Amino acid sequence: MKTPQDATATQILAELSEIRRTVTEIKRLEEDRILEEGLFQTLEYGSQMGIFVVQDGKFRFVNKHIENHWGYTLEEFIDRDALSIVHPEDRERVRESAVRMLKGQRSSPFAFRGLAKNGAIRWVTETVASVPYRGRRAVLANYMDITEQIESQKKLAELEALEASILEAMPNAVVGLQNRRVIFANDGVETVFGWSARDLIGKNTRIFYRSDKDYEDVAKLLYTIMEKQRTVSFEYPCRHKDGRDMECAVSAARIGQDLKDKSIVVIFEDITERKQAKNELEQSREQLRKLTAHLQSVREKERTLIARELHDELGQLLTALNTEIVLLSKKIPPEHSALIERTKGMTNLIDMTMQTLKRIYMSLRPGMLDHLGLTVSVGWQADEFEKRTGIPCRIKVDPEDMALDPDLATALFRIFQETLTNIARHAGATRVNARLKATDKKVLLVVKDNGRGITSEQYQKPHSFGLLGIRERVAYWGGEVKITGEKGKGTAVHVSIPLKQKGTLP
């Protein structure tokens, strides 16, 4: 049986036990508070993510990192409506996603648009969890700013869309290859080759070429060059889906910095019609050159014939007439002085006619070109030019006894003659220097003056028939002509013609 003293002792022990429990709970709460404060202090300054605590729909805690994204100070955030930084169109979705995550129905972060203080849109991805905060339940949220990633993805998508649009807009065939198999193609492949882009994926490029040899040769050419440089361009025969042969301009570039997996992109342009037109134009030009050369040859022959007729026929008649007049004057009695003077006048007139005749047939065809050769003829032409214009003209010839094809010699003489004519008409020069030189491989003619200098516009004039004649004569012989001018310093004509036939030089 317990005494009153025992009851009192038991009561005291119970109270002491309760006091110990209370003290223990207080210490635990204090430790939790200290731990909580330490945790949030660490989150405030140490976390590289955006951290905030929402309680009763208001911000109760935000870390320093959050200031960099939204433009608000930490003080402006506290007690602010948590949804005020969410884009109005995303608020309901954010609320639903947060509730589902708090209930354990969602584990992946959710993304939404936020509104910074200046109105700029920020993209963030967020996760939330339920935590105690200052003795009450609250929502702890951490987020990452993904604005740059979203903008990069958007720009990448726009760039890809632009690239796709460009590829589809191109009329040429564009194919991407890996180990010589098609990994992508644009709609241009149907225009060029007749294949649909969809049908080409995974196929070997052998279908683009006429034979296995062409297929291997193109691959060897492409990859050999692209081992050393990033791009390559050339022309090569290809084959259409319907079996017809075609000419293509091929351009290729490496995908990446090296030829790993032989990844390249190739552009095929159908140039069949252009090539045919070019060939036809070249054939037409060649025929025109041959016709021009033929006409020039015919004209030279006609000139030679006319010159010979003038020299042989008319010249002989004038000589005979002059002889008869001289003989007639000797039979006139001295007392008929008027008749004697008349015959002398007739003799002088015949001499003038013969000089005119000589000038005419020499301009038509210098006989010395046929009998004495090119070197003597150009020397005579230089002297005649100086006599006619008063402009000193010096020419050097090397070698002096060069022997050229007669038609080539005629062409060079006419080029020299036309050049001097242009100088007399347009250059305003006071001096001309020329050089004619023959080697084992080519013959060179250079004529320089110190006149006003030809301009590129004058050189390109379509009605400059003298220059056009020079170019055509040179082109017929497979040579090159270069005409350059410098204002106030004169013009230079450089003619180079290869000597293709053996035996043209001594």
pLDDT of the residue at 9: 54
pLDDT of the residue at 505: 36
Which of 270, 296, 330 terminates a domain? The answer is 270
Is position 6 within any domain?
no
403 and 431 fall within a common domain: yes
Is position 221 within any domain?
yes
Model-level pTM?
0.44
Is position 4 within any domain?
no
Is position 239 within any domain?
yes
Is position 44 within any domain?
yes
Is position 158 within any domain?
no
Q: What is the DSSP letter of 227?
A: T
CB under 8 A, 24+ apart: contacts of 269-272: 269/172, 269/173, 269/192, 270/172, 270/191, 270/192, 270/246, 271/235, 271/247, 272/246, 272/247
pLDDT of the residue at 35: 41
pLDDT of the residue at 494: 92
345 and 455 fall within a common domain: no
pLDDT of the residue at 506: 35
pLDDT of the residue at 239: 94
Provide the CATH number for the domain around residue 465: 3.30.565.10
pLDDT of the residue at 235: 92
39 and 145 fall within a common domain: yes
Strand, coil or helix: 89: helix
pLDDT digits (tens, 9 = 90+) for 322-368: 888 888 888 888 887 888 788 888 888 888 888 887 777 667 666 66
49 and 147 fall within a common domain: yes
506 and 377 fall within a common domain: yes
The total number of structural domains in the chain stands at 4
State which residues of the chain have pLDDT below 50. Answer: 23, 26-47, 502-506
pLDDT of the residue at 203: 92
Q: How far apart are CA 325 and CA 344, in angstroms?
A: 8
Q: Are 151 and 246 in contact (CB under 8 A)?
A: no
By residue range, what is the domain housing residue 181? 170-270
Q: What is the DSSP letter of 489?
A: T
Task: Report the sign of the C-alpha dihedral through residues 144, 147, 151, 154, in that order.
Answer: positive
pLDDT of the residue at 11: 60
107 and 195 fall within a common domain: no
> Position of tokens 């564009």?
174
Q: How far apart are CA 484 and CA 349, in angstroms?
A: 46
Is position 194 within any domain?
yes
pLDDT of the residue at 504: 38
Which of 365, 399, 416 terminates a domain? The answer is 365
Which of 254, 270, 286 terminates a domain? The answer is 270
Q: How far apart are CA 35 and CA 131, in angstroms?
A: 13
pLDDT of the residue at 248: 93
305 and 254 fall within a common domain: no
